[in-house]
Amino acid sequence: MDNTTVKELCDFILESIRLIRKRFQNIHTSDDFLKDDSGLDMLDAISMRLQAIGEALKNLDKRERKLLLKIAPKEYWSQIIKTRDFISHHYVDIDSETVYEICTSELDELEAKIIQLHTLLQ
């Protein structure tokens, strides 16, 4: 995988994080995802972006593992990829509390790591 492709995947992940934050703006508790159709739409949309982030990282991990390991340990990336696998294969079991936790507690760290990765490519 050439650096252009890696940069494009990093840009895609950063754009996905931006869209998740935009969609998450009116969600104040995990119950907000479940209270009406609008909340369920946000849960679906955010889950899809989390899945896409995991897929992008899965592709990066397969081709550029050493590069990812310069930013964070294997376990960090594996956790995100496992989340992607769970969303893909067990969508019926998605927990609104878990998605809420990811949105409130994990996105800043991921964004910082992807920016750091992007910087390494320049």
What average pLDDT does the segment 7-21 reach?
96
How far, in Å, CA of 44 to CA of 26, rounded?
15
CB atoms within 10 A of CB 35: 10
Reported as a single tens digit per residue, the pLDDT across 46-69 is 999 999 999 999 999 998 889 999
Which residue, among 91, 120, 109, has the nearest Cα to 17 in the 3D structure? 109
Give the model's confidence band at 19: pLDDT under 50 very low, under 70 low, under 90 confident, else very high.
very high
Reported as a single tens digit per residue, the pLDDT across 81-102 is 999 888 877 666 688 999 999 9
Number of folded domains that form the chain: 1
**Whole domain around residue 54: which residue ranges?**
3-120
How far, in Å, CA of 67 to CA of 60, rounded?
9
pTM (2 d.p.):
0.91
* Percent of the chain's residues with pLDDT above 90: 78
